[in-house]
Chain A
């Protein structure tokens, strides 16, 4: 698996898109710091961008890489390699190179701005950790979609729909259900609903760490009570890990049963 990982990683590192992605984050970091002139404000703005953009890039890159390396995959399948190591190697190659672009691209400007001398280092690390989690989650979901769809156009379509659903539509439905059932106590339900969507989960996790939960009202207090504690943090991290592990297991399961 490590050899496949190595080749996929180098392959991506040589491709233009990894640099574009890296340079984009670099510029974003520099511009936000320049405009806000304040680390914690820059972190909040960044969160809004990362929460939406990282899943989108992860999904598109994952699907694109799978379809583009189809020939390479077929070549590998005839070699004495396990299927799971071929696909997991490719998956990790994509997810790692994307995470690296994210961490380096954002990390470099913040470190130069004086991150290590400020109190915001934990908030910023949490931002990078959730960003990395989101990359791993959505790349894995993208590989699942690509493995199940031979047709590229369909695969891309489903991938975009999945992103749209989790990033936008889910929130809409969630909000509507809250309005519809407003006569009932909803704090447990909303907590539960947040847990089920990795994007919402990441957003809530960062927001509450940033101590702006006062804006969230009563539900915010419940959330704060939960997410603000170590227990909430651990549960959230476990949930995010489950979101990585389940799609990865399905990659292994699906790839072992697929015809090439």
Chain B
């Protein structure tokens, strides 16, 4: 699905990724974990082509993404902080994205699911953080792409919406899609993910299932396993 070979990226003198090799197979939910500033978002943005790597090769669905933009129609992306143009209305934004990416009717169902009808004619600048995140989720899940990338999807969501989000994620997985998620909420990661990738100081420290991690670190639960990695490495 996604193949990353020897990926290097630095911003000025700050080395963020140093030699990432990663292979993500089709189907299932992958969580990308790591402490703040470990390069999770940079990795995701490199896959999306928003960050241009200094070195290395990335292929998505078998095509090299360098100087390519068409492959992004196969990816649904939920950005970390929903920064939308403030003077647009929710309805206009959804219409615009549909105009740019193609037709879909899923948005009607998703708007109902997250109770967004009262906000459709409001400007995005006037929405609360949680409501913006719901709009963000609608924009991401309304298309039917084989790869879904979610950067901190739980930010600002209330418990009911969180349950709906988890259902959505499981539904997409059941359709055989590949999901790539980053999150700091360990319970959320433990609940949804099939496999985790742990990034530390720009390199992959661990890749495998949560059970593998528990055995490797000799800890009874997931949260402590992660914490032990961080204490061992002084990160």
Q: Are B50 and A259 in contact (CB under 8 A)?
A: yes
Q: With an 8 A cutoff between CB atoms, is B114 at the interface? A: no
Give A94 Cβ to nearest chain B Cβ, in Å. Answer: 15
The interface on chain B, measured as residues whose beta carbon lies within 8 A of the other chain's beta carbons, has a size of 25
Contact with A along B53-81 (1 / 0, CB 8 A): 00000000000000001111101010100
Contact with A along B36-55 (1 / 0, CB 8 A): 00000000010011111000
Max chain B C-beta neighbours (<10 A), residue from A78, A79, A260? A78
Complex Cα distance A151/B75, Å?
A: 30
Give the nearest-CB partner of A259 in chain B.
B51
Q: With an 8 A cutoff between CB atoms, is B97 at the interface? A: yes
Complex Cα distance A6/B189, Å?
A: 41
Q: With an 8 A cutoff between CB atoms, is A69 at the interface? A: yes
- CB contact under 8 A between A78 and B72, given known A3-B100, A11-B87, A71-B84: yes
Q: Are A257 and B50 in contact (CB under 8 A)?
A: no
The interface on chain A, measured as residues whose beta carbon lies within 8 A of the other chain's beta carbons, has a size of 23
B52, B75, B83: which contacts A74 (Cβ < 8 A)?
B83
A7, A82, A257: which contacts B52 (Cβ < 8 A)?
A257
Q: Are B85 and A80 in contact (CB under 8 A)?
A: no
Complex Cα distance A14/B87, Å?
A: 10
Interfacial residues of chain A within 58-82, with CB under 8 A of chain B in the complex: 69-72, 74-82
Give the nearest-CB partner of B11 in chain A.
A259
Q: Which residues of A contact B97 (CB under 8 A)?
A: 75, 79
Q: Which residues of A contact B79 (CB under 8 A)?
A: 74-75, 78
Q: Are B83 and A71 in contact (CB under 8 A)?
A: yes
Give the nearest-CB partner of A260 in chain B.
B50
Q: Are A78 and B100 in contact (CB under 8 A)?
A: no
- CB contact under 8 A between A78 and B70, given known A11-B87, A259-B51: no
Q: Which residues of A contact B69 (CB under 8 A)?
A: 80-83
Give the nearest-CB partner of A15 in chain B.
B87
Main secondary structure of the interface of B (DSSP, over half): mixed
Main secondary structure of the interface of A (DSSP, over half): helix
Q: Which residues of A contact B70 (CB under 8 A)?
A: 80
Q: Which residues of B contact A78 (CB under 8 A)?
A: 48, 50, 72, 75, 77, 79
Q: With an 8 A cutoff between CB atoms, is B101 at the interface? A: yes
- CB contact under 8 A between A80 and B101, given known A71-B85, A259-B11: yes
Give the nearest-CB partner of A73 in chain B.
B85
Q: Are A7 and B96 in contact (CB under 8 A)?
A: yes
Complex Cα distance A72/B50, Å?
A: 14
Give the nearest-CB partner of A79 in chain B.
B100
Q: With an 8 A cutoff between CB atoms, is B191 at the interface? A: no
Q: Which residues of A contact B105 (CB under 8 A)?
A: none
Give the nearest-CB partner of B67 in chain A.
A256
Complex Cα distance A82/B87, Å?
A: 24
Q: Which residues of A contact B45 (CB under 8 A)?
A: 259-260
Complex Cα distance A260/B48, Å?
A: 11
Q: Are B85 and A259 in contact (CB under 8 A)?
A: no
Complex Cα distance A79/B73, Å?
A: 7
Q: Which residues of A contact B11 (CB under 8 A)?
A: 259
Q: Which residues of B contact A7 (CB under 8 A)?
A: 96
Q: Which residues of A contact B52 (CB under 8 A)?
A: 257-259
Give the nearest-CB partner of A85 in chain B.
B69
Q: Which residues of A contact B72 (CB under 8 A)?
A: 78-81
Complex Cα distance A3/B45, Å?
A: 24
Q: Which residues of B contact A11 (CB under 8 A)?
A: 85, 87
Q: Are A77 and B50 in contact (CB under 8 A)?
A: yes
Q: Which residues of B contact A76 (CB under 8 A)?
A: 100
Complex Cα distance A131/B213, Å?
A: 66
Give A89 Cβ to nearest chain B Cβ, in Å. Answer: 11
Q: Which residues of B contact A79 (CB under 8 A)?
A: 72, 97, 100-101
Complex Cα distance A259/B11, Å?
A: 9
Interface positions of A (Cβ within 8 A of B): 3, 7, 11, 14-15, 69-72, 74-83, 257-260
Given A3-B99, A80-B71, A80-B101, list of 10 further CB < 8 A pairs? A14-B87, A71-B84, A74-B83, A75-B85, A76-B100, A77-B49, A78-B75, A79-B100, A81-B69, A82-B69
- Mind listing 16 A-B residue pairs with CB under 8 Å? A3-B99, A11-B85, A11-B87, A72-B84, A72-B85, A75-B84, A76-B100, A78-B72, A78-B75, A79-B101, A80-B70, A82-B69, A83-B69, A258-B52, A259-B51, A259-B52
